[in-house]
Structure 1
Amino acid sequence: MIFRSLLLAASLLSMPHIASAQTFLDEGFQDGEADGWQSDARKGKIGLTDYQGNVSLNLTRDAYAIRLLKDVSADRVRISAAFAADSLEGDDACVLEASPDGAAWFEIGRVEDGQDDSVTLHTVSGLLDLDSPNLFLGVRITGNAANDSCWVDNISVVGARNTDSLSEALSQDVLWHGQTLSEPVSMQAFAPPDKITTPTISYSGTLRFEGTQAAGFELLRDSFNYSQTADTLDKLPAFNVNLVQDGTDLIPTLRGPQANDHPDWEWIIEPGQIWHREDSHARASLPFALQERNANCVHNGMMAFEIGPNGDTSALIFQIGSETCAYMQFNLWGSAPSSFETKAIPHANTVIRNYQSEVAHRLPTQPLSELSFRNQLGHSDEVAPDAITALGYVKDGTHYVSACPTRLGDYPYCNVLDLPSYSWAKSMVAGLASMRLEQLYPGAMRSQIADYVPACDDWDGVTFQHALDMATGRYDSDVYDEDEASEDTRQFFLTDRHDRKIDIACNYDRQSPPGETFVYHTTDTYILGTAITAFLREQTGRSDADIFDDLIDPVWTSLGLSPVARQTRRTYDNEAQVFAGWGLTLHRSDIAMIAKFLHEDGMIDGEPMLDPAMLADALQQRTAPVGLRAVVDSQRYKNGFWAWNAGANIGCEDDLFVPAMSGYGGLTLALMPNGQTYYYVSDGYAFAWARAAAASHNDAPFCEANP
């Protein structure tokens, strides 16, 4: 499920003058040394190990290691590490902890029994306030047998801001008097007041922003050193956006990622609010995101500006303090001139009606804290809390939601927070499009790839179904993630042209009969998307027929999903080929409604939109598990969906495979057999959800428990 190749999916650039956050420790052991660490093996062993070129510190039984960091010049630090584990039982654990004095220790995180497949790295992290310049850092294993093992890697200590000290007001000197926003403010500074007043005049019109370099840029993570190579990462692209006012709502007429000539970023501007201030000014607040060109990382932010009583426009204040992006993370803030021209906007009434419909279609929400088992959802044993962008649970038609934390305070517009799909799209686009295709054209999934994709003309015997199941028999290695992490696959993601992508995707020799071996290949899903588009054009006689526009968007429209969900990443050439295996942008309401649609057997107004047999297979509604073994014995993959055997974990007498979607970096969506849905969007490489499955089962049982 780890979509590692997307780490290299975009050629992000940056510049020499970007300020990195204060990094006090960045330990990967790749130099083959453990300098600075004091260790005691006690009854176990401790030492560096090398696995496929990656070096980590291995501890067994009850070993521990401690490191003292001096001159830590930060009041608050974020501490993190990644653990793999093996043979943990009972109370055994891999533990990351810290202390200001070496006497009183604070646990940062742990990995326990159930997370010990000896391969998967689980990231744990947390914040710690300091009142001295010294910090003791410790890693240890609490085991009792020689085979109890922990491997620790990627240990970091980075300075973090204390959100309590951030201003909750936007400076009038910055807005109106030419001062630069020199420090970030709390995200709550962009929130509307509790008692919001509708402006006395209409402010529909056009907001223009010429683009600028950010005043502040703190680089928090740059896994591939993009910041050393160029000069555009902290430069915002220009935009002209038409906005329609409806009461206090301020609605952009264009939604979703907007292409431009910036080499790195595309704007997404979401509906916000505008209100009357006591000084006769109107203030507008708009959520936005920067999404990588040709990729799926999303960096979420806020912007605000004011309009004076004479129609003059203040500076635009903007900042970013969160993202769903495992390899590139930063805080960004600044201010720059803007202009707002009040004018009539064409089709304004349609824009308003569409937005009102969008809001009305959302499931009713309640705080996640209303659930009795809230403490088992997003548990720190399974996903690092500071890696979570969104967390939710759907039960009995109600969408239970968390706040949307950022490094600069809670995001004020959670309902329109933009979230990437990554490989959720393999289920939501490739999977559902295939089921829709089979419903409309029975037998279509038995069609041959070679008949519809010229670049794969030698793929004899490989069907649409084989490609959907990632069982084409075409691969270089059947070792999990080896092909996906290859240089060829990296180039597949980097290119923005269809001809190059499809040539790379088809360039695998036959290693086994089609349908026998699961090998994780995003390239297979891209081939399938290409083939389905060609099939539709043949069947309809329309040269513009398209897998997304013809098979997915009509369903999304009927469900009332947001306009951002009704777009997808495509190649940038005339082909505009849908990526199919990644590239959706979603709101949390979209996630909830898609899950509800699946739980309701893919029906809309009593009409089946998807092939019932394919959907039943994807949702593991057969007596026996459906799909090929996927990486480990406890997982299956079928029709673009994963399934995990939760039976033993929740106390079932028999195996019970629960269907799920998984996305790169830390996206999990589990479709519980009791009709409930659990999801989190994160970027700390965590994919665990056993605690949530057990909690859901205890709330509404999946099976008869063992006596």
Structure 2
Amino acid sequence: MSVLYARRCCAVLAFLVLALVLVPFPPLAARPAYAATAVPGDRLTGSGAVNRSVLTAADLTSGAATGTVTDDAFALPAAAAAPTHTFEGTLTLNGVATAGGFRTIKDTYHYAATAALKHLPPVSINLVQNGSHVIPAVRGLQITGSAYWNVILGGGRAWNEKGDGGRTRVSLPFALVERNANCVHNGLLTFLFDGSTISQVRYQIVNETCEYFQFDMWGQVGATYSRHTVTGDTALKNAYAAEVTHRIPTKPISALSTDYPNAGIDTSAFGSGVTASALSTYGVSYGGVNYVGACRTRQGAYPYCNQMVLPSYSLAKTMFAGIVLMRLTQVYGSSVSSQLIRDWVSEADTSAWNGVTFQDTANMATGNYLSSAFESDEAGGGMTAFFDAESYGPKMTAALAFPHSAAPGTKWVYHSSDTFVLARAMQNYLASKAGTGSDIYRWIRDQVLVPLHLSPDVLSTERTDNSATGQPFGGYGLFYTQDDIAKVSRFLNADGGKIGGVQKLDATMLADSMQHNPANRGLTTTADTTGKTYQYQSGLWARQFTSADNPVFTSPVYVPFMSGFGGITAAMLPNGATYYYFSDNNEFGWSAAAAQAYKLPATGGGGRRLLGNDGFETGTAPPWTADDKVASDNTREVPHSGTRFAFIGIKADGR
């Protein structure tokens, strides 16, 4: 487990090593020669002349954490010099069970009444170093054994500052993850080390994506550095270099207006509609660039924005369950979606599940529910029992407890528990095809997620029994970075389910779910509190936009989107752009942002529309569908004949 963070301020000492609470350690044994691939953009060329007043060498040597400090204190400074020392071995934090401070910001369920929750779980991390990059040997969700917290570690940095007395400074991002839940609390840690000593470790958490439990946590503890060769160290370094290499290029969100000046984009719309203090991050993925907004914390910008851990909540219904169903169909044939749940989940072999198919369940149309009102069951006591259950048996029992109320496939009622049942059914179906040792999440990881070059954060999932071998939750329990959201959205939208030109998802199912087929828009949901209804299919929502929403929608447009608890949205527009944001104040206002993103010219597969072989200029020949980014009757253009025209490619003026 590992979660660490640093904090506080004091004056810089030029070089003195004071009576440092620094722990000596033995030298590393002689190493064989090796050549790791350098991380793109490394090496540091600064002078090390950093004007530091917060988390100085004296602070980390003999200071104490009395509160949180600016996150800039953990950031790589512009003048950072290349590290003179290399960290490899095990870092262990001492005394975390009782150390540190805690400040509650929001606590709906009174979690903070439990004292042990206010401290870090046990922290012992194997680390290697590639240039100035410090890399945890284990990435993704780590089960700590804590009754409350699991952890995710990201790659950090190492550098030298002149005020650190010849020692090298390290900073690492990490996240606490609530056990048996999807909340994420992002933090940082920092320390100094050299060839024989290590300082105390300062840690701090001042950000979360968690609607019901928000807090600041901080502390400074002694640490032990056990120097040794980490197994597979060169492979770890090379893997991290590859991870950075494969990230989508990023630009600030403001660059959209300068990159596409003729589109008339108002970038202030992005991130709007959500309380600023509740917004973790946002962005627009378009044209091979991830245009990103800030990663906000209560102490300024998060210095590892591209590694801020973001929870999926119900985005997993698309990015796990929906994608798995489409991949199973692509691999094993069209009969997969019509498989019966009761044939593959022994506990569901009851009359309530007669005739319920995989597709019905992915569509939230099992017919088993208490109330058909918009997400009424999802917020009810039956679902609370489902979410609270950690072990498989009670969780499945709660998932199957809803009474039979309608014919399968006829009524949309939103249940996270249904996706859990579907995940179990698909697990057992896969085992029948690929062998009893098969695991549904590891299968889709290897089939799709790894080829997409997603981050290690998404390559594991929460499971029953707080175990790496339990049943995946299916409908929640994944973790992402900004880069992951951009890549998966592009895969579903602009790339049409292809990787390297190879079709990975069933094209028909994906086209239906992405609203490319007017003959199959999925089920219509019941009305939400605003009176609006949506379409729903295979874990994907869709919202229709018209000129009544914004004049930019000159023709009706369906926008498929992923949606998650608390205020999470990834809207995939038909021009190939995706607008996403992660927040935790139950705000889902993204129509203004969608309208601005829709101004971008159609690109890639996201702008695909079916055109008949003739007659499209009248807009009447099936299977014609009109989209004002591809086809229009706008008087600015002159058709060959008839009244309508189509764009093939992107116009030079950006329209």
Counterpart selection for 1:335 from 220, 238, 258: 220
Counterpart selection for 1:245 from 129, 138, 144: 129
How far apart, CA to CA, are the structure 2 residues paired with 1:276 and 1:695? 43
Aligned to 2:86: 202
Counterpart selection for 2:111 from 226, 229, 241: 226
- Aligned ranges 1:173-322 → 2 under 5 Å: 173-177=58-62, 179-210=63-94, 211-228=96-113, 230-278=114-162, 279-309=165-195, 311-322=196-207
Change (3 A) 1:625 1:634: farther
Does the 8 Å contact 1:473/1:512 carry over to 2?
Answer: yes
How far did 1:342 drift? 2.4
Aligned to 1:644: 543
How far did 1:549 drift? 1.0
Does the 8 Å contact 1:376/1:691 carry over to 2?
Answer: no
How far apart, CA to CA, are the structure 1 residues paired with 2:226 and 2:146? 24
Does the 8 Å contact 1:478/1:519 carry over to 2?
Answer: yes
- Aligned ranges 1:39-50 → 2 under 5 Å: none
How far did 1:422 drift? 0.5
How far did 1:313 drift? 1.1
Residue 603 of structure 2 corresponds to residue 699 of structure 1: no
Aligned to 1:555: 448
Does the 8 Å contact 2:100/2:119 carry over to 1?
Answer: no
How far apart, CA to CA, are the structure 1 residues paired with 2:126 and 2:112? 33
Change (3 A) 1:516 1:207: same
Aligned to 1:463: 357
Equivalent residue of 1:241, what SS? strand
How far apart, CA to CA, are the structure 2 residues paired with 1:261 and 1:364? 37
How far did 1:612 drift? 0.4
How far did 1:299 drift? 0.4
Q: Number of aligned pairs?
A: 536
Residue 519 of structure 2 corresponds to residue 619 of structure 1: no
Change (3 A) 1:653 1:416: closer
How far did 1:631 drift? 2.6
Aligned to 2:462: 569
Equivalent residue of 1:568, what SS? coil
1:100-154 deviations in Å (ceiling 9; x for gaps): xxxxxxxxxxxxxxxxxxxxxxxxxxxxxxxxxxxxxxxxxxxxxxxxxxxxxxx
How far did 1:641 drift? 0.1
Does the 8 Å contact 1:367/1:401 carry over to 2?
Answer: yes
How far apart, CA to CA, are the structure 1 residues paired with 2:149 and 2:103? 17
Equivalent residue of 1:299, what SS? strand
Aligned to 1:451: 343
How far apart, CA to CA, are the structure 2 residues paired with 1:297 and 1:445? 31
Single out whichever of 566-575 and 453-462 deviates more from structure 2: 566-575
Aligned to 1:665: 566
How far apart, CA to CA, are the structure 2 residues paired with 1:563 and 1:259? 15
What do you get for the CA RMSD once the two structures are aligned?
1.8
How far apart, CA to CA, are the structure 2 residues paired with 1:653 and 1:182? 57
1:161-200 deviations in Å (ceiling 9; x for gaps): xxxxxx96204343112x3211221100011221332323
TM-score under structure 1 normalisation?
0.74
1:304-358 deviations in Å (ceiling 9; x for gaps): 011145x211111000111000111111111011111222111111101111111
How far apart, CA to CA, are the structure 2 residues paired with 1:436 and 1:205? 40
Residue 379 of structure 2 corresponds to residue 485 of structure 1: yes
Aligned AA for 2:295? C
Counterpart selection for 1:534 from 398, 408, 428: 428
Equivalent residue of 1:393, what SS? strand
Does the 8 Å contact 1:433/1:552 carry over to 2?
Answer: no
How far apart, CA to CA, are the structure 1 residues paired with 2:53 and 2:475? 40
The runs of 5 or more residues in structure 1 that have no matched partner are: 1-166
Aligned to 2:414: 520
- Aligned ranges 1:2-41 → 2 under 5 Å: none
- Choose between structure 1 and 2: higher strand proportion: 1
How far did 1:698 drift? 2.6
Does the 8 Å contact 1:395/1:676 carry over to 2?
Answer: yes
Does the 8 Å contact 1:378/1:391 carry over to 2?
Answer: yes
Equivalent residue of 1:681, what SS? strand
How far apart, CA to CA, are the structure 2 residues paired with 1:705 and 1:187? 52
- Aligned ranges 1:294-443 → 2 under 5 Å: 294-309=180-195, 311-372=196-257, 373-380=265-272, 382-442=273-333, 443=335
Does the 8 Å contact 1:635/1:642 carry over to 2?
Answer: yes
How far apart, CA to CA, are the structure 1 residues paired with 2:455 and 2:197? 33
Residue 562 of structure 2 corresponds to residue 685 of structure 1: no
How far apart, CA to CA, are the structure 2 residues paired with 1:386 and 1:705? 43
Does the 8 Å contact 1:314/1:339 carry over to 2?
Answer: no
How far did 1:673 drift? 0.3
1:197-225 deviations in Å (ceiling 9; x for gaps): 23234221111113233532111101122
How far apart, CA to CA, are the structure 1 residues paired with 2:304 and 2:180? 26
1:496-542 deviations in Å (ceiling 9; x for gaps): 111111111112221111000000000110000000000011122x2
Residue 576 of structure 2 corresponds to residue 675 of structure 1: yes
Residue 465 of structure 2 corresponds to residue 580 of structure 1: no
How far did 1:374 drift? 4.8
Aligned AA for 2:134? L
Aligned AA for 2:526? V
How far apart, CA to CA, are the structure 1 residues paired with 2:591 and 2:520? 18
1:63-121 deviations in Å (ceiling 9; x for gaps): xxxxxxxxxxxxxxxxxxxxxxxxxxxxxxxxxxxxxxxxxxxxxxxxxxxxxxxxxxx
- Identity across aligned pairs (percent)? 38
Aligned to 1:11: none
How far apart, CA to CA, are the structure 1 residues paired with 2:134 and 2:357? 48
Does the 8 Å contact 1:625/1:657 carry over to 2?
Answer: no
How far apart, CA to CA, are the structure 1 residues paired with 2:266 and 2:446? 34
